[in-house]
Structure 1
Amino acid sequence: MSNYANEPVKAIDGRARTVREMLDKAKYAIDFYQREYAWQERQVRELVDDLTGKFLDHYEPGHARHEVERYGHYFLGSVVLSHKRSLRFVVDGQQRLTTLTLLLIYLHNLQAERPDRVEVRDLIYSERYGRKSFNIDVPDRTGVMQDLLEGKTPEVNGETESVRNLAARYADIVDHIPQEIADAALPFFIDWLLDNVHLVAIEAYSDEDAYTIFETMNDRGLSLSLPDMLKGYMLANITHEDDQRAVNAIWKAQMLRLREIGAEDDVDFFKDWLRARHAQTIRPGRKGAENKDFERIGSEFHRWVRDQKDQLGLVDEDGFTRFVKRDLQFYAKRYGEIRRAAVTLTPGWEAIRYNADRGFTLQSQTMLAPLTPVDPADVSRRKVALIADFLDIWLARRIWNFRTISYSSVKYTLFQLTKELRDRDAATLSEYLRSQLDEQPESFAGAPRFRMHMQNYRQVRHILARLTHWVDTQCGVASHFEDLISEGRARPFEIEHIWADQYERFADRFTHPSDFETERNRIGGLLLLQRGINQSLNDATYEDKRDAYAAHGANLLARSLHPQAYRNNPAFLGLIDRTGLPFRAYDAFGTEEQLERQELYIRIAEWVWNPSRLDLDGEKPPVHEPIVGQDDDECGNGTEHGARHVLRLAFWTRLLDHAKTRGDLHASISPSRYNWIGQCREGMWWNYTVVQDETRAELYIDSPEPSLNKALYDALLSHKADIENAFGGPLLWQRLDDKRACRISTSVRGGWVDESTWPQAIEQAVDGMERLYSALAPLVRDVQGRSP
């Protein structure tokens, strides 16, 4: 007997509801047989772009909050519900409702403690009979939803497809919300979303009625897709039967190949192709503006082609035939190659995969722009590679400078770039893209305090993967980028903080736990470690962590903190020698050490995202930019340290400029804020050190093995007279028996504190280094060559 046998018969009810009415303290269940949340990045991006775009059509910075009521409305679609067992079950529409919940969670987190925050918690979860649960109540999703609500990174390894998709789509929302929404407009947008966005809720009181409605609404058996309608237009304008057959066969074959890549790739191909090669206009970002080429191609490209037939050369039968036989076939093949490279690392096109991992979706459009059907295959590949590398560098710099790469934020810039790239040959394309990077205001050295925060976890993880992968591969260590970024493998890599989350260990350096948390998340204090190692360390001290990195064979970026990484590792020492990267081991890791490590990461980033990748004559070492603005004020260390760092940076800049006129010993290193700079040669450090009133040139013997350091020092000391004679004067010999290292040096008067002393101090210090290296280097090589 029906559960509703004693209830009056209820009609099917349908009415429009706002998001607030739909979700406020509501409760919806989803039957076990249709619980999968399956939306992908594309659907989330389109929803976010539609919502934010519609809102920004009406919002102006000078508006008062109450004016939101007059903004335009947006229809989000219908939801079919079935009433049973005293619950409302979602029969159709769970993808939209779940994504709305993810968006509301993000908006809840984004508001933090803003005084103008709009409370949205009742639309996300509610409490009944003492039980708190999410309004879209699916038990196996509770854990991931709770993590997201608390601002945590969910653990999705071994979880269901729905759980993995929820975490990934939340990250997509973070990536795609435009900056203008996240700032002053945020409460306005939330007000608008809750009360001006509508759904139609269709409620039935039996599953039979609910599914009849669902099937009727989704019966599209006779409807044509946009590509099908465009094909019909093409064939209608071709009269020769043989040409019709050929065009139809080409069309079907290419669409089938595209749909094998993704269910919507045939549609996306036409959008990217027509925007890349033919769109001339884009809708201005102002209230009331009408759709232009870019938007029309996105929503009705079949009609746009018909309206623009003269521009497209569709003036006679030959034009229609050529459009398919030559153009469509050529660009569909190139698009397919690009899309496959976005999923699988492809030699020469690795940057396409890197850009896709960031969630960047505009690269296909940009890459098709300079291609022409007469390009040989190797020329097409070279053009695509140039644009992929350009975008990789351009995006990395933006992210490092806390700039968003969301679709809505960069689509205007990328559209203008697309137009500039059309029909360029490889040489002019290379030159133009390089000039764009040279003019880009964002740089790595220009943002020395880059850190991880709640909204950029995905992008920081990508950056750490790239730095880690680059260091290992440069040293011949097996490294797989896909392993570093995969969250579905048995032991995925996770972000490891070098500083444990223990404020009390740093309370003497930071006035508040929030200051400590900010500094703890600086990129220089982060690593990638496999789960298990990462979890086992948890609250361990730095000394224990450093030993674990070495003992468990972690990547070189992690192991470089330990002296063992420098022992019997000629490839790693060769990398240091070749690049001048300031790697060194640390016995302790405090604020100064983390700042040094931050600088190391900046210098590695300049190698990884080296703009000379775009030069047709081959990649060259990067030109390192001075690191500015990185003083210790944010760490609570006072302005005195900040002024000291500024002066040191200026001093080293002038010293290195002069040193490069005398030789190449320090030609590959960059100015620093610290009191020393150095170059590793012959496995030893040739350093400059500056204090307030003195500058020193030295050989710093500091291999990982103390006994070897002392043995080398003693061997050199036995030739002291010859060495000092070759040097031209006495040297300071320091065996430093209480330390691992030894030092042989010469000092001159004049340091960083008095700029008037710099010219003489720099001249004498550089001269001293030149004579020191000439006197010592041959003996160092000789002694090392005789060592067992």
Structure 2
Amino acid sequence: MELKAEKQTLKALLAVDEQQFRIPPYQRPYSWTREQIDDLWTDLIENVQAGHFIGSVVLAAEDDARPLVIDGQQRLTTLMLILGAVRDACHARGMTNDVQQIEKRFIADDLANGDAQFKFRTGNANWPVFRDFTLRSVGDPLRKAESSALDKDMRARNRALLSNRDRIVSLLASHLEHLPEPGQEKWLRDFWKALLGKVELVVIAVRDLGDAFLLFETLNDRGLQLSAADLLKSHMLGEIAKRSAEEDVDQAASSWDGMLDDLGAGVDVTRFLRHYLLGYVPKVKKDSVFDQFKELVKDRGAESVLADLRTAAAAYGEFEAPAKAGHEQTSAVLKDLATLRAVTCYIALLPARRYLAEKDFVEFARLAEVLTYRYSSVVGRGTNEIEPVYHRAAKILHDSQGTRLAEARETLIAAMPDAEQFRVAFQRLEMGRQYLVRYTLQRIEQALHPALEKMVDVSTLVHIEHVMPQTLNKDWSVSLGSFADQYQEYVNRWGNLTLLFAGLNIPASNKAFEQKKRYYGDSQVKITQELCQYETWGPEQIDARQRWLAEVAEHVWRVYPVPHDQLPTLRYEHKTSLDDFRERVGALWPVIAPYATDTTAQEIRSLATRLPGHLAGHTDHSSLAGKIADGLTELLQGWEDYSHSDRRLVRAVAEYFLEPEDSAPDELPGGLDDDRAALIAAFAALDRQLPSCLQS
């Protein structure tokens, strides 16, 4: 590694003419917090005159005129914001020479056109705001001051930048207010000179971009400053940079950002990475996520790992936001899992989502829901005990690409607490987490009375009702009699809880049980109506009802294991539809194989939209091309039931038809015979009846 490291002042760093420091597009946007701004400001006010060391900056200087800032963008951006605020304060006091001296540090080449003139260029997300609000001179007609003129998206992307700029201006103004007016100019002059001349950094420059990433990773190897996700991104981009051009690194960075978009805002990226790893290795500590990914990158290659993470992130994003799934039953089960906070099962759901057809995935996810409810929600066993179970199921699905689904199901079923454990634990349950109570009562109601149409799953309409109220009033004290001493022990027991629509719950409130029964009788919820059969209400009735709820729940959350004799052995080799198709197309397979890539059900569905435009290019073979397109359309309509292997097969046939220059160019006589043969083989491999349009 060719490395040059030297301590420099901020002034020396910014002094080289015609040199522009650039933040690469793959760096995360400016994100310092108010607390970090306040800490730096305090340090500068107290120490800058004596000298202040602010840390290291890592540069990739393949091009001396345009070095990339690999590490240090947050600090450099903040120092430029401070210089900009001081420059504006000098301008307000008519300190023209000081303004000019500061602005010299903002300009790399005053003869350059456009953005090339500036000394420090942030990433694309922050650049228009940073340039127009800070770097432009006070006399520049393009200079901006009011963020209210920015559009909503621009303000959102630059919230931290704008907020910290305002905070720095406020801190500076507050400090100056405490100085006598004659001394303010001297303080400003001394301060900006000290900022440039006495703030010091260690500038580490390397020639190779890959070396810069390696150095960045080494400086942060204990994760004290960055998360495992930040370090992994840097490591993978560094590996790619060793063998590829800068534009390939940019493309990989865009793919990483796309992964984050697929995950969705607010998703714990490190948790996602850990769950991904647990599909392959049995144990992953949170602080070892980065180290284990380094081994994975070493074995598979950075590009392969990144592509696989993109696929996994799309599924994980659906788990976190079920509406993204685009399939009613899938969205419904993912919503129930989200209600249960059932994140641990995502370990096994990741390969399940990749390899299984929608129907099979829904059934597998429902099984995970039952296991979560019995094992964690009711019996209360810990995550550390269930993670290995989900790892084993995930590995089975990965290794078999979903074909050993029955074995994966049996792995989860084997971990289920038995009926007696479940009932005993259920009968001890108290209020605790409201979402769990609501979920339980809703599902019991829906299971007992599925024909009734009611919106018991809308929390704003349906409240959790305490039959014996949360406040023990005089009427209830008299009613309970000698049981009043047990009030606190029983008030939050699940047997004392039910569902009641808001319009009834509010007037029922703390009324006596006999009065409450009038409201319960008007309820649309059957398990609430049934409370009317009780003459009185107290600990005995609560115990009895909780035992009943436990018995019902044990039947609702129950899975009957798949018979052992139907499970394949570990050595069983399943012949997939893609294997069958490969044999049927014979010599055509080598040219079709590149199109048989992993794909989602939604991507299969979207292929149909490309067929009409493709047909326009087949005027000489319009009849046969139309028949093939009709057959493909029918094949694509089965997307909802296709397994991982089925989806690869269907995608291969569709993409092969959409490629005019295949093994037999389509424009030649007989040029569509190969496409027709592939389609016929696909119908046979999928065990689907060949459409009449392809039978002649």
TM-score normalized by the length of structure 2: 0.42
More helix by share: 2
TM-score normalized by the length of structure 1: 0.38
Greater RCO, CA 8 A, separation 6+: 2
More strand by share: 1
